[in-house]
């Protein structure tokens, strides 16, 4: 590596773990950087994200090997080095140690010897973390706080819990939804292959492609610029495919940004229309940009889904309520979620979910449908929300969700441990 990549890595990790930044800041910074090579960007992204994903295990190693608690910036430096020594098998250990020690010598000269000694002790150490079958071991080894382990234990067996924890540590799969207004799946496959992509068709969804390799700077390629596809997880594509439309419906998508579900449903309309709304104007700009790129005529409004809008009363045939949630189904994409105060987050978000569902249900015409969805695997935010709503609103009834050859029970529940999707929940409710 030609440039001082350690400074980029440590800044990324420090901002996520100590300053409350989202992990997306890593890719955002790299996208804006014009000095780094593609190889350097890939290396920085891998280490930065990997450290966040495995923070608790690496922090445990640091605490086991050190009798004193170092300052935050020194701790971050050491933990980044420990990540490379523990997880990056292609690296030469002595080169990794020397790289981080030299960085400490230049930036924290008082800590150089401490950093050097600790890293070399780590290389010599054995059995720093022993599997004793406890929840504490699971918490440390898979870097999920005990609070989160306890929440998941309430709903899942230990075997399923471990599968979920493993899935949360894996790299997320990338899917493209084919924009059928502009191309077919077969045509898109040929175009993508010619641009350097490696893709394969997804059997369960005829409008999806699994992407296993991408060329650099995909936003500059004709396939992207011409709006031939939309990057979207298979779970969201399954939600789109679950929405029953004849073509002439009036559709409202609340909490819509960045607009993927609106765009997917729009493809299925003929004379119908769709309104996409969100509470954040900056996010709505992305809906507008994506609509232009994909060739969709979607009306975009700034609106709070939890506040009643009288002019919407019983106006829509379909309301999409993909509500804010704890995000426990997308930890592999947003690993910082694990370290936030989950219990407080769930409590506040459940209240918001209830408000949104209660409010936007009034926008559904008699005979119309509301689709409720989340990217969490927490039943308190899923089944419980729907069941409580149905108890309080007898003018609605649950229907079986059918999508991509799968029938719900009546819900669709996807766990990230299935190996192909995010954790996701879909419910279909009909207004009588």
pLDDT band at 91 (very low <50, low <70, confident <90, very high): confident
What are the tens digits of pLDDT across the range 31-55?
A: 999 999 989 999 999 999 999 999 9
Place of tokens 């940009």: 289
Rg (CA), the chain: 24
What are the tens digits of pLDDT across the range 1-27?
A: 446 899 999 999 999 999 999 999 999
Task: Note the pLDDT of residue 343.
Answer: 81
Q: Are 52 and 73 in contact (CB under 8 A)?
A: no
**In terms of residues, how long is the chain?**
432
What are the tens digits of pLDDT across the range 286-308?
A: 999 999 999 999 999 999 999 99
Q: What is the mean pLDDT of residues 383-400?
A: 98
Q: Are 401 and 412 in contact (CB under 8 A)?
A: yes
In the chain, what are the domains? 5-124 (1.10.940.10), 135-168 (no CATH), 174-231 (3.30.70.1170), 234-431 (3.40.50.150)
Q: What is the mean pLDDT of residues 350-356?
A: 97
- Three-state SS string over 245-292 comes to CCCCCEEEEECCCCCHHHHHHHCCCCCCEEEEEECCHHHHHHHHHHHH
Residue 90 has pLDDT above 80, yes or no: no
Place of tokens 């399923």: 160
State the average pLDDT for the chain.
Answer: 96
Task: Note the pLDDT of residue 344.
Answer: 81
Phi/psi for 83 (5° steps) reads -60, -50
Q: What angle do CA 429, 426, 327 make, to 5 degrees?
A: 130
CA distances from 41 to 78, 91, 132, 217, 218 (A): 21, 17, 38, 12, 15
Q: Are 115 and 73 in contact (CB under 8 A)?
A: no
Higher pLDDT, 92 or 234: 234
**Backbone dihedral region for residue 314 (phi beyond 0: left; psi -120 to 50: alpha; all else: beta):** left
Q: Tell me the helices (H) and strands (E) count for the chain, helix number first.
A: 17, 14
């Amino acid at each position: 590596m030609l440039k001082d990549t350690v400074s980029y890595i440590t800044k990324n990790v420090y901002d996520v773990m100590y300053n409350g930044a989202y992990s997306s800041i890593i890719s955002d910074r790299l996208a804006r950087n014009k000095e780094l090579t593609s190889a350097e960007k890939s290396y920085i992204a891998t280490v930065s994200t990997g450290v966040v994903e495995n923070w608790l295990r690496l922090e445990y190693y640091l605490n086991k090997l050190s009798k004193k608690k170092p300052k935050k910036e020194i701790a971050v430096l050491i933990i980044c080095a420990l990540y490379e020594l523990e997880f990056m098998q292609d690296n030469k250990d002595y080169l990794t140690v020397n790289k981080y020690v030299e960085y400490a010598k230049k930036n924290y000269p008082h800590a150089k010897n401490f950093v050097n000694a600790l890293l070399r002790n780590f290389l010599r150490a054995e059995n720093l973390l022993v599997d004793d079958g406890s929840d504490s071991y699971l918490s440390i080894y898979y870097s999920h706080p005990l609070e989160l382990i306890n929440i998941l234990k309430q709903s899942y067996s230990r075997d399923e819990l471990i599968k979920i924890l493993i899935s949360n540590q894996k790299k997320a799969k990338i899917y493209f939804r084919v924009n059928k207004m502009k191309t077919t799946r077969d045509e898109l496959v040929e175009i993508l292959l010619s641009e350097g992509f490696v893709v394969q068709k997804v059997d369960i969804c005829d409008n999806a492609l699994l992407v296993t390799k991408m060329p650099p700077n995909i936003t500059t390629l004709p396939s992207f610029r011409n709006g031939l596809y939309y990057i979207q997880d298979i779970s969201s594509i399954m939600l789109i495919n679950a929405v029953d439309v004849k073509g002439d419906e009036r559709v409202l998508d609340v909490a819509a940004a960045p607009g993927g579900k609106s765009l997917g449903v729009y493809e299925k309309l003929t004379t119908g229309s769709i309104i996409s709304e969100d509470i954040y104007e900056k996010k709505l700009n992305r809906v507008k940009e994506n609509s232009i790129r994909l060739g969709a005529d979607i009306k975009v409004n700034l609106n709070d889904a939890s506040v009643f809008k009288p002019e919407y009363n019983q106006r829509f045939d379909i309301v999409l309520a993909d509500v804010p949630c704890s995000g426990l189904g997308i930890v592999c994409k947003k690993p910082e979620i694990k370290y936030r105060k989950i219990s407080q987050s769930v409590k506040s978000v459940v209240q918001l979910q209830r408000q949104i569902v209660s409010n936007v249900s009034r926008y559904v015409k008699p005979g119309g449908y509301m689709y409720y969805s989340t990217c969490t695997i927490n039943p308190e935010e899923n089944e419980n929300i729907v069941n409580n709503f149905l108890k309080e609103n007898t003018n609605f009834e649950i229907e079986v969700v059918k999508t991509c050859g799968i029938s719900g029970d009546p819900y669709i529940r996807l766990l990230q441990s299935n190996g192909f999707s995010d954790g996701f929940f879909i419910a279909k409710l009909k207004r009588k």
